[in-house]
């Protein structure tokens, strides 16, 4: 797997990274998450599974790992693995995020799984906590799910604090969510200190179903900002776990392409992202070894204009996509 630079950060990253959103907590919205974990949620067992997936990821050449304060014990699991493997920090890149607090209390079904708060005090507290856990491995620190509604991109106190973190040597990024991803990214591009953009990277949802952020992501890449793609499998909707009868026609289209290429649905969906010229990293959200082995095959796919055209039928209206996502059950 060839490394590439994440925008102009100087960070060397693998084109496929590993996100730990589904590995670090017992409940998540990915289809089939409960069966992936075999409904065994004890902390030690989940950490052991996470370390096995991380070991395989390393063997497969993955060198970028993505966590967040709200991903349960993801930062802790990753930190323990890094220490156990005794890696030098210059050969691994870790990105974490602040702005959400995990409140699920290690339960699959919780009244509230996470609470969003983009205040300055939360930034200070979560930055110190993440830095303590991840140390020099933490190369990228991101706002978690910046939106127009949160107004975090207009909070000068927060932006100034992020600027100070950047000056200390950590790259600064933001992740975006929702139907207004495009507008949020464009707003972030305007945040500057002394004429230099604050943000070094942006992480957005982009997949065969939801592509509304394309113009802004292209603009970000042209300005030297690293582009990381999350939810490339649409939380499992672009895998064989999707049994929604209303999705049958789209699954049939995917299956036709799979047979031509002799790959799985997930690898095809990841390849669609990986082959966009403005993408630096696409995250695998694998929870099991088999899922990761399947995901990694995306790097072998040669994307063609014909595939792009035929799979264009998959796209959904952005509002519809995010409505469906909001209705996915935690499991």
Rounded to 5 degrees, φ, ψ at 176 are -130, 155
Give domain status of residue 193, yes or no: yes
**What counts of helices (H) and strands (E) characterise the chain?**
12, 14
Give domain status of residue 245, yes or no: yes
Whether the pLDDT of residue 260 is over 90: the answer is no
Give domain status of residue 23, yes or no: yes
164-178, 233-247, 250-264: range with lowest mean pLDDT: 250-264
Q: What is the pLDDT of residue 262?
A: 87
Cβ neighbors of 116 (< 8 A, separation 6 or more) are 99, 100, 144, 145, 150
* Helix axes of 74-85 and 43-59: crossing angle, nearest 10 degrees: 60
Three-state DSSP class for 325? helix
Range(s) of the domain holding residue 256: 4-326
Whether the pLDDT of residue 2 is over 90: the answer is no
Give domain status of residue 224, yes or no: yes
pTM score of the predicted model? 0.97
Give domain status of residue 45, yes or no: yes
pLDDT band for position 176 (cuts 50, 70, 90)? very high
Determine which helix (DSSP H) or strand (DSSP E) holds 182, and give its type and residue range.
Answer: helix 181-189
Whether the pLDDT of residue 252 is over 90: the answer is no
What's the CA gap between 309 and 272, in Å, rounded?
11
Q: What is the pLDDT of residue 261?
A: 85
Give domain status of residue 58, yes or no: yes
Give domain status of residue 331, yes or no: no
* Helix axes of 214-222 and 181-189: crossing angle, nearest 10 degrees: 20
Q: What is the pLDDT of residue 258?
A: 87
Domain count, the chain: 1
Q: What is the mean pLDDT of residues 187-206?
A: 97
Q: What is the pLDDT of residue 183?
A: 98
**Which residue is associated with the tokens 């950047």?**
166
Specify the length of the chain in residues.
331
Q: How far is CA 212 from CA 105, 116, 221, 235, 284, in A?
A: 34, 24, 16, 17, 21
Sign, Cα dihedral of 323, 27, 211, 213: positive
- Contact between residue 235 and residue 29 where contact means Cβ atoms under 8 Å apart: yes
Q: What is the CATH number of the domain that holds 43?
A: 3.20.20.100
Give domain status of residue 94, yes or no: yes
- Contact between residue 17 and residue 66 where contact means Cβ atoms under 8 Å apart: yes
Whether the pLDDT of residue 16 is over 90: the answer is yes
Whether the pLDDT of residue 302 is over 90: the answer is no
* Rounded to 5°, angle at Cα 328 from 325 and 331: 140
Question: Mean pLDDT, the chain, as a whole number?
Answer: 96
């Amino acid at each position: 797997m060839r490394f590439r630079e994440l925008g102009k950060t100087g960070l060397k990253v693998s084109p496929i990274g590993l996100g730990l959103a589904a590995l670090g907590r017992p409940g998540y919205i990915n289809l089939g998450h409960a069966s992936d974990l075999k409904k065994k949620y004890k902390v030690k067992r989940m950490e052991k599974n996470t370390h096995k997936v991380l070991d395989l990821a390393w063997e497969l050449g993955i060198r970028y790992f993505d966590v967040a304060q709200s991903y349960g014990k993801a930062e802790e699991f990753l930190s323990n693995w890094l220490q156990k493997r005794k890696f030098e920090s210059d050969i691994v890149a870790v990105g974490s995020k602040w702005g959400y607090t995990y409140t699920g209390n290690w339960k699959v079904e919780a009244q509230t799984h996470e609470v969003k708060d983009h205040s300055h005090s939360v930034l200070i507290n979560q930055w110190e906590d993440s830095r303590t856990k991840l140390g020099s491995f933490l190369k990228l620190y991101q706002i978690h799910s910046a939106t127009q509604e949160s107004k975090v991109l207009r909070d000068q106190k927060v932006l100034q604090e992020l600027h100070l973190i950047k000056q200390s040597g950590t790259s600064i990024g933001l992740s975006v969510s929702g139907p207004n991803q495009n507008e949020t990214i464009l707003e972030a591009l305007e945040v500057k200190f002394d004429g230099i953009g604050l943000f070094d990277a942006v992480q957005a949802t982009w997949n065969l179903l939801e592509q509304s952020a394309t113009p802004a992501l292209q603009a970000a890449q042209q300005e030297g900002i690293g582009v990381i793609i999350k939810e490339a499998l649409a939380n499992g909707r672009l895998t064989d776990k999707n049994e929604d009868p209303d999705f049958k026609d789209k699954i049939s289209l995917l299956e036709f392409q799979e047979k031509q290429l002799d790959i799985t649905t997930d690898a095809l969906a990841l390849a669609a992202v990986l082959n966009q010229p403005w993408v630096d990293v696409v995250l695998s959200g694998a929870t099991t070894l088999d899922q990761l082995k399947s995901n990694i095959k995306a790097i072998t796919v040669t994307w063609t204009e014909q595939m792009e055209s035929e799979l264009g039928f998959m796209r959904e209206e952005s509002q519809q996509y995010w409505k469906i996502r909001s209705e996915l059950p935690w499991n």
